[in-house]
């Protein structure tokens, strides 16, 4: 199989990050390099020294940046420049391979014609509640699919869906398309996927490549995350204009309410409605952020360092 490097932005990694490194080192296709794009050197050095992984493994490469230098697109793009192999895998520090075939399965997806990027299925953590569990199932179903421009009428915005929580890229295509956008608050993966699809290429969802990854966001965190999502869409009308996201949101709400009713989890309806409201308000404010005062924008965003007024 072809060689592959892994690129992971890091910030204050914890013990779970060590499990990620161990999980990558035991893959059937072991990464040539694990490239860490780390924010704030002093926050990671003692942790890594104490963990012993740098002594145990010699394929880990660390590059440090300042917190104010981090950008979802640019930082990952800079990480790609340290890789010289045909494929690279983007991951986040809180994702865990479910088994040893993660990279092998993703590479298999790249064998399909005109596939520019393939992303993995995300499974909820064991401690996840029913809301997070079903949301993961909704966004990452059991069946694999390869998406192209012909799917826009059926899938809408989901055609462009892709996640750098765990996604593999063809380096030659990446360079030809110009790579990740260099300045974005969010959605560098979807913007790239949209660029690829508009260039006549395809995006693969590989359901048998699985990572464990989920969050238990509070209503406030859901608000901020969706505010940033709205900002991203407002800033990139060339990608998102004319393809409303609300349709998918409504479908999720309808299906979640049905699941809660069928499973007799009626007490979860109130927190679900609350979280849905936080998401919707955050998203719509983010879409209209250019009309908001600067103080409100910064207070609403999950990525405060992005804003340089």
- pLDDT tens digits, residue range 254-281? 999 998 998 888 899 999 999 999 999 9
Q: What is the pLDDT of residues 122-176, one digit of tens each?
A: 999 998 999 999 999 999 999 999 999 999 888 888 999 999 999 999 999 999 9
Query: What confidence score (pLDDT) does residue 241 get?
Result: 80
Q: What is the mean pLDDT of the chain?
A: 92
At 247 the pLDDT is 75
Mean pLDDT for the stretch of residues 64-71: 90
Q: Which of 157, 300, 179 is nearest to 231 (CA)?
A: 300
**Helix, strand, coil percentages, rounded to 5, for the chain:** 50, 15, 30
CB 165 within 8 A of CB 136: no
Cα separation, 230 vs 240, whole angstroms: 10
pTM for the whole structure? 0.93
* Cα-Cα end-to-end distance for the chain: 47
- How many other CB atoms are there within 10 angstroms of residue 2's CB atom? 11
DSSP-derived pairing of the beta strands 145-147 and 202-212: antiparallel
Q: Which residues of 176-185 are buried (b: 16+ CB within 10 A; e: fewer)?
A: ebebbbeebb
Q: Are 63 and 78 in contact (CB under 8 A)?
A: yes
Digit-coded pLDDT (tens) for 91-126: 999 999 999 999 999 999 999 999 999 999 999 999
Angle at 79 between CA 73 and CA 80, to 5 degrees: 90
Nearest to 283 by CA among 219, 230, 220: 230
Mapping DSSP to helix (H, G, I), strand (E, B) and coil, where does residue 32 land?
coil
Residue 200: pLDDT above 70? yes
């Amino acid at each position: 199989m072809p060689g592959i490097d892994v690129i992971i932005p890091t910030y204050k990694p914890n013990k779970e990050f060590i499990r990620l490194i161990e999980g990558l080192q035991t893959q059937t296709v072991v990464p040539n390099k694990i490239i860490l794009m780390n924010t704030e050197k002093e926050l990671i050095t003692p942790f890594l020294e104490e963990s012993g992984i740098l002594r145990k493994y010699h394929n880990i490469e660390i590059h440090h940046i300042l917190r104010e230098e981090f950008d979802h697109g640019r930082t990952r793009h800079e990480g790609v420049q340290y890789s010289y192999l045909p494929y690279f895998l983007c991951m986040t520090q809180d994702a865990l391979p479910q088994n040893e075939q993660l990279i092998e399965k993703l590479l298999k997806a790249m064998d399909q014609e005109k596939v520019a990027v393939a992303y993995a299925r995300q499974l909820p953590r064991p401690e996840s509640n029913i809301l997070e569990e079903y949301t993961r199932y909704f966004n990452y179903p059991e069946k694999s699919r390869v998406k192209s421009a012909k799917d826009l009428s059926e899938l809408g915005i989901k055609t462009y869906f892709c996640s750098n929580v765990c996604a593999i890229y063809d380096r030659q295509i990446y360079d030809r398309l110009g790579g990740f956008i260099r300045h974005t608050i969010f959605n560098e993966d979807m913007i790239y996927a949209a660029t690829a699809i508009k260039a006549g290429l395809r995006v693969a969802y590989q359901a048998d490549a699985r990572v464990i990854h989920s969050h238990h966001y509070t209503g406030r965190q859901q608000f901020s995350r969706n505010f940033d999502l709205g900002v991203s869409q407002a800033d990139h009308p060339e990608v998102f204009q004319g393809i409303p996201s609300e349709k998918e949101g409504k479908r999720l709400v309808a299906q979640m309410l049905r699941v809660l009713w069928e499973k007799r989890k009626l007490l979860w309806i109130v927190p679900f409605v609350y979280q849905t409201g936080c998401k919707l308000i955050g998203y719509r404010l983010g879409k209209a952020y250019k009309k908001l005062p600067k103080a409100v924008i910064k207070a609403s965003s999950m990525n405060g360092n992005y804003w340089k007024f």
